[in-house]
Amino acid sequence: MLLRRDQIRILARNETVMQGLKENYKSLTKDKVELPVFCVSNSVYMDHVRGYDFSQPPPLSLQDTDIPRLREYLYALPSKGKFATLQHYCSGLLMGVLNTMELSCSVSKLKRKDNLDQIVHQAHLVS
């Protein structure tokens, strides 16, 4: 009973701290993206990893240490970056190439040849 009461107090304190940090960040930066906040408990997490006496369990469950959620967030960051790169490529660069090809096809052959000659000549000057 005492252990459960401590757990509820710790989780309530963590929630209050997380909400306060998020609100402070939002008011200071005016950023629309919510700040990721994790209240982790390394010592309790290590008790779970090493093992503990079942007659004296740690004050928090493994999930309540917030380390699994933090690890999940960190492991997801590279894929989010790769996805953002793909979005940039598809929306920006690919559209630019398609627009250039469309313009190239819409002009006369002579103008297209002159344009290509100019591009090749500029590439020779740069290198």
Domain of residue 26 covers: 1-65
Q: What pLDDT, in 10s, does the model give residues 72-82?
A: 999 998 988 88
pLDDT score of 105 more than 80? no
pTM of the model: 0.59
Q: What pLDDT, in 10s, does the model give residues 16-69?
A: 999 999 999 999 999 998 999 998 888 888 888 888 888 888 888 888 889 999
Residues 60 and 1 in one domain: yes
Q: Does residue 54 or residue 1 have the better pLDDT?
A: 54
Nearest-angstrom CA–CA distance, 60 and 114:
73
For residue 89, being part of any structural domain is answered with yes
Nearest-angstrom CA–CA distance, 25 and 21:
6
For residue 99, being part of any structural domain is answered with yes
Residues 1 and 61 in one domain: yes
Among 22, 2, 20, 24, smallest CA distance to 12 is for 20
Domain count, the chain: 2
pLDDT score of 115 more than 90? no
pLDDT on residue 28: 94
